[in-house]
A and B are shown apart, each in its own frame.
Chain A
């Protein structure tokens, strides 16, 4: 007896009174949900991914979508997802791939943290009327300054500063490779980064020549597959990031399905057309912290010590000690990617079960570096599941210098978080290389939207800082006194170094 069909995940219906048979849904759905036959739109709900493209494009609001129209007998342990994974694997014998971030309902620590504000004893600061400083420098800082004052009172600075990236807002755009996302998506984000005075990552996909005009806003990535890396690439970037791991799949390498590797992606990434780009789990030249140090220094040497080098790791149990090791490797910044971080494609089991949340990881890394007296010498960038400006404020209070946003930036381009990025059919032109789909995303509009999002968050950041009586971002960083845990357990509050509400 075969397993048979599982219930459809979504049910699409059309209000036939409203429908004017314009067939926009047919044109817009790359998954083939809609088909036109004899003056009627036919529906195959099983193909639906809930990407909402049809709903967004229907001029008459005639399309309706229901999630789980037919469900299994409910059971707290044997959930629908568990049962369906078993059916799928029983058929295929393979690892299940998934897109976007962790999809299990773990509690969200951010949502159990509340911010502080000033009342009476100190005034809040109105960002419309007073200066508010969000400028952030990412890179190595000296532990102290050596200054010489001569008899005339002239001051000579003897300490030489390392190159730093200057951000006008502490929000950066995360590494999403050309291949995983489209050229128009990258272009949109790069223009936005330039407009708002921040930086974005290239991901492990090389740098397409269309992005060259924005190269001074790009952080180029060197990951275990070394895709797209040559001296030209390194020299173009504003900074270099070594990716050791990624929050969505700690310990694993990158996955780019061959379906997404077209001519252009192939030449940018320096791999054959149509092949899966699978980066190795570890870097084959990094088997210890001293090997990492060599790579950091080699990259600096290759670029004449003109560029900051970041090291990105996934948030895992021992992140704090690992970060302390990285901080001593000549790296200028440590990037910690929490387990809610998104991805184009990852084994579902790793995405959902490996790693720890960014809130706990960044707090413990910050504390460890402070214990060792080296916190301010290296920058900390946090990423993985940052959804709104309040998350940014909380992350900075927990010890980050800046954050990377990935999923949120894509959502600003129209992404509906359907989680099918690995299939290469993204109807919003984001996670696809199919020319007709890519052209749906206009970089002009896209960049405006992404820039709007970062600007809006930056305004909110200013207001929250002003409410807390703080007019400079460095006074927010690590300032745990301005955060309280709301019904968090004692263990996690100790890790976060925050008190409970009311205390």
Chain B
């Protein structure tokens, strides 16, 4: 199960979090009260040049000093503070959520074409694998993930999600089977600007995970969803594939279809399948992926999970259920069902 929803305003007009909270609550049946989360883009305009690192500490006393020290070795902590929270009767607080506004020193990875991103990726991977009691779960600029174990409205109220404003929102309501109750296992998953919400179970996880690890990524969250974020990062950021072609790597057309294409397209699609075969995601999934300049939804190649899309003016909605979209925006027009394996993409206007 799991319920997912995403909205982007292509003209970058901001929305507060109250609507997505309502939409997600409507899909209560898709969750079990053991994980929910939100991602919001555009929420830290005053720190828009800094990476906003959201961290779960098990215990500030033992672990924060070491993380501060690591971060200072790689750059400057512009500001850090506890993420404001409001205790909820049905939500058991097991971590202290913290945020850092951090500026990495690009000179420390001067060989890289994108030193700042690579420093952050390295920090996330190494802190999450090596440091006990610390988990960096959000690391983009001018965006943030807020998640915990609980029902969607409780998690929203815990963080005061209605008080954040952004032009792009993702929400996820979880029915966990792998790691129930663990805050790190709630969605969205994030790396740099990439955030992912996911409904499904990736049967090719063992292959995808080993592939992505051979490029230096480390899967630390014990769940198949994070691999999606890393695959996006590899294909789009590192390999510079256009998003629609990156999608073809993850959910390619069947060979039957490819065989019927004209020569040029066939050659391209064959090359994608040959080169990125280990990135193909198998099994049931519907995902919505966000980046500061776009939002994208896609399902597996035979659409074993629901996904619908609707538009209202400059706003694009993607969700597991039409009702959730209509709850969020009663004026939305026709809600359509995208074809299996074909992406729905909304981009901000430049």
Contacts and interface: CB of A to CB of B under 8 A. Distances in A.
Interface in B196-228: 200-201, 203-207, 209-211, 213-215
B203 A470 contact: yes
21 contacts: A121-B201, A123-B304, A133-B255, A141-B274, A141-B275, A142-B274, A142-B275, A161-B270, A164-B274, A373-B215, A375-B211, A375-B214, A469-B201, A469-B282, A470-B282, A474-B204, A474-B273, A475-B283, A478-B206, A479-B203, A480-B206
Contact of A478 (B201, B210, B254): B210
Contacts of A143: 275
B260 interface: no
A149 B277 contact: no
Contacts of A373: 214-215
B1 to A, nearest CB: 9
A475 B203 contact: yes
Interface in A131-147: 131, 133, 135, 137, 141-145, 147
Contacts of A147: 240-242, 245, 268
B42 to A, nearest CB: 27
A145 B271 contact: yes
Nearest to A473: B277
Contacts of A371: 214
B205 A481 contact: yes
B326 to A, nearest CB: 28
A118 interface: yes
A451 interface: no
A135 B301 CA distance: 16
Interface of B: 177, 200-201, 203-207, 209-211, 213-215, 239-242, 245, 254-256, 267-268, 270-278, 280-284, 301-302, 304
Contact of B283 (A145, A157, A159, A469): A469
B206 A471 contact: no
Give the bracket for the number of chain A residues in contact with chain B.
35 or more
Given A122-B283, A375-B214, A471 B277 contact: no
A122 B204 CA distance: 12
A164 to B, nearest CB: 7
A468 B201 CA distance: 12
A82 interface: no
Given A133-B255, A468-B203, A376 B278 contact: yes
Contacts of B254: 131, 133
A157 B206 CA distance: 29
Nearest to A471: B282
A425 interface: no
B275 A122 contact: no
Interface of A: 118, 121-123, 125, 130-131, 133, 135, 137, 141-145, 147, 149, 155, 157, 159, 161, 164, 370-373, 375-376, 468-472, 474-482
A43 B272 CA distance: 65
Contact of A475 (B255, B271, B280): B280
A157 B275 contact: no
Given A157-B268, A376-B211, A475-B282, A145 B206 contact: no
B274 A477 contact: no
B218 to A, nearest CB: 13
Contacts of B241: 145, 147
Contacts of A471: 282, 301-302
Contacts of B210: 370, 478, 480
Contacts of A122: 200-201, 203, 283-284, 304
A474 B177 CA distance: 25
A141 B213 CA distance: 18
Given A121-B177, A469-B283, 17 more contacts: A133-B255, A135-B255, A141-B277, A142-B274, A147-B245, A159-B275, A161-B271, A375-B211, A470-B282, A472-B280, A472-B282, A474-B204, A476-B207, A479-B203, A479-B207, A480-B210, A482-B206
Nearest to B206: A481
Given A370-B210, A481-B206, A123 B271 contact: no
A279 to B, nearest CB: 34
Contacts of A375: 211, 214, 278
Contacts of A125: 302
Contacts of A123: 284, 304
A416 to B, nearest CB: 38
